[in-house]
Amino acid sequence: MEIPPHTRLVALLGDPVSHSLSPRMHAAAFRERGLRWAYVAFRVRPEDLGAAVAGLRALGFAGANVTLPHKVAVCQLADELDGSAARCGAANTLVFSEGRVLAFNTDVAGVRRALDEEGVAARGLRVAVLGAGGAARAACVALGEAGAGLVTVVARRTPAGQALCDRMREEFPETRFEARPFEDAALREVLREADMVVNATPVGMHPREDESPVREGAWLRQGQVVFDMVYNPPETRLVRLAQQAGARTVGGLSMLVHQGAASFELWTGSPAPIDAMKRAVGLLPAGV
């Protein structure tokens, strides 16, 4: 990739990153705004994260996105956390400013705006959140801010799920947070009672598109909202199972665009060209 002189750079740090649509999306946004910026993706192992962040800062990068598995660990490398990152204990966006590393969580806004765009109001709902990592933390904060009635975190790592719920109870005392193990019997029970299901795990992500965190469509039901935060492929196996069960579905592409738009605005100080970003990832047809 040849980068013209005097180009401002932002990066994506994750493992893996080959599936990411963010480089394409941000390239379209920079073109639309006439900015000489470039977005590059780097595969970074967990043990190399500190060196990678220090390297970007030393090289004069404007900022970075951070994806799995680094969203929690990167908070320890920041000089300052914004409110959402502090609430989550996870960050997905870095801004390098005057030698300092500022960390933000735009996933929270991404979840909220994706649900708003589909006309889904979480206030008072019973929500099952699958997973306990960085994406799950953002989902829980967004749901707490929206006034969800009950959020049940279903996680394979039971201590992580319990720790997340303990953290969220302190942040949002008016919302009930409960942790359950990611076992078939518990999962079926939680899903049967849930008004909304949020998949905040990478299960079903390319190249393992045949997988789903919910093995049976019968575990879902008509009238539910099923929000899969996985965006590649755009229609996951979980989304297909939910549609077959009569549930209303929200895909991960909308969240990708909206969290990316918030990151774009933090880096550039310019309004994000939402439609151009949607066209770049296939949410809008070309020419619209």
d(CA 194, CA 22): 31
Annotation says 278 is catalytic:
no
Q: Which of 7, 2, 24 is nearest to 276 (CA)?
A: 24
Which residue matches tokens 């193990």? 181
Which residue matches tokens 């929000």? 227
Are 100 and 70 in contact by the 8 Å Cβ rule? The answer is no
Q: Which of 26, 57, 70, 71 is catalytic?
A: 71
Are 168 and 151 in contact by the 8 Å Cβ rule? The answer is yes
Euclidean distance between the first and the last CA atom of the chain, given in angstroms as a whole number = 29
Assess whether the previous peptide bond of 16 is cis (omega < 30° from 0): yes
Are 226 and 220 in contact by the 8 Å Cβ rule? The answer is yes
Active site residues: 71
